Structure 1
């Protein structure tokens, strides 16, 4: 396996010890080398790359938030655009054709679709969908909190709202972000991240309930139906658990999650082609307060925010990751994605 570069987003200033976006290198033996500061930025806690251009996008996670675009050609980062966002933008995704950047604003509960030009740069103002609703967990669900987005095979954009216990489905129609439907989830579960399994089902990690939800699509992903629920960890999750990331592995045979309170990564076996999940094993994250994780073929890299490290694991034939080498020091890492 050849070497490859990874981008790391961090928390900066009062929120953390980072200085911006870092570049690390995954060597052929899976171990990470670096880091190198690629660009100074304000709390670029989540990153995304354009599917067809050398452009990297980052949130600026603060009360008066923003998003930044960088030219990533040549291995470096050069700022090429800035746009305002809502309060505390925390997640980015790019639509498959590369025409929209989808931004989840946790603080304001809004979802925005930012037009992108042929070169991957910002090409106009965002279309913004306001959030609504609340949940029973008073200190976390006093109002809407958009948290993540994922692209369904039919072009529907699925978003989680941790504050309102909703999956909201959007479509781009006549160049605008249009609400296609909403799916209520169990009260107080707090949906955080989601993925669309190759089999078609949608998997959601619920931060507040420490659970995994499996939903099947209805009306072309405009609505969804909960068909299975399972624990987010194989053992105790902690109270509160603070479940975080959710990623697919091994072509969809496994799902991996991180849980901050107990500092574990959990391997979940995918059952019935994606219609159910079964937690297999909890593995220490190699640090404290694991946030994002990146599945890199047979390797996994876990960003441990509070211990200022990224830990590397090798995924075994049974789907369970085992630690490799010594965790790499990186200040306040939050997000890890391939360059």
Structure 2
């Protein structure tokens, strides 16, 4: 595990209340030669299903995936405790957060109405003002899932363009941040009914896209600094509901989680980022794998329905580092 961070600290986002037995945000650590330490509650919160860290690592952000959505900022104390810094209301069912590389903005994807929220951050990582909202539009052919727009993830690119998946409208939107607002600069339609969920950015600039509603992974080549994306590869993944993709160190391999099949697929990245070679699938270590986190040469998987976090050593295929560890309805796992 030579590539793992020395402290190995991990944060877990959970489902609470009627959707799970979590109580909020938990902290734990990776265990050399094993999985994780027993998770400890760091902050009580309702449904903190996704987490993000400020570039300095001293502020942690959470969504609260509720009908009355919220985002919250916490100061990370030296001992690993969390102190609340502020909360902002956002539209329904916020499900993803990302922080700009310069630490000036936080983006939240609100699944319910297909809204993105852009929140300014102050010099210390706290909230500055109220979020500026952008409303998506469109539908898709899958009944019950694509009756309207459903924002699911955002991704910052080195050229300053932000990408956002819209599961409900089969789109990947592109924006620039100008004057404290999101300004659309590109709209990339995908095949109908695919339901794009999660993206990963390769060092070459290619984008790997996990489809949730169709058993597919797409490779997208950027034009105009990611404002436009061309499909250059399409790959069949395991049958089931696609969840997340994550790149290994250096971008040599891609890992993909699929619920239903309850596997993590491994793909070798070839052709300078333009193609994938499927190396195999391994059991995720529980039921309903959601988030993936690569920390050096270790991969962590949050198995929501199975109530476990599984750890794998990457060689490059994932090899279980120990028995999956119990965790309260984990949805997100974040190193830092």
1:182-210 Cα shifts (integer Å, max 9, x gaps): 00001110000001110111110001111
Unaligned runs of at least 5 residues, structure 2: none
The aligned residue for residue 287 of structure 1 is: 286
Aligned counterpart, 1:226: 231
Q: Residue by residue, what CA displacement relative to the aligned partner does 1:117-155 show, whole Å, maximum 9, x if unpaired? A: 000000011111101000011111000000001111101
Q: How far, CA to CA, are the matches of 1:314 and 1:128 in structure 2? A: 40
What's the counterpart of residue 322 of structure 2? Answer: 325
| CA–CA distance in structure 1, aligned partners of residues 278 and 231 of structure 2 | 18
Q: Give the drift of 1:327.
A: 1.2
Cα root mean square deviation, aligned:
1.0
What's the offset of the Cα at 1:162?
A: 0.3
Aligned length: 331
Displacement of 1:222: 1.2
1:166-315 to structure 2, matched below 5 A, reads: 166-233=171-238, 237=239, 241-315=240-314
Residue by residue over 1:188-235, the C-alpha shift from the partner in whole angstroms, topping out at 9 and shown as x without a partner, is: 1000000111011111000111111111111221111111111123xx
For 2:31, the equivalent position in structure 1 comes to 27
**Contact (CA 8 Å) 2:33, 2:321: kept in 1 or not?**
no
CA deviation after TM superposition for structure 1 residue 303, in Å? 0.7
Structure 1: gaps spanning 5 or more residues: none
When normalised by structure 2's length, the TM-score is: 0.96
TM-score of the aligned structures, taking structure 1 as reference length: 0.96
Q: Check whether the contact 1:189–1:209 (CA below 8 A) recurs between aligned residues.
A: yes
Comparing both chains, which one has the higher relative contact order based on Cα–Cα distances under 8 Å and sequence gaps of 6 or more?
Answer: 2
Match of 2:15 in 1: 11
- CA deviation digits over 1:237-294, x for unaligned, max 9? 1xxx111011001310111010011110000111111111222111001111111111
Q: Which runs of 4+ in 1 moved over 4 A?
A: none
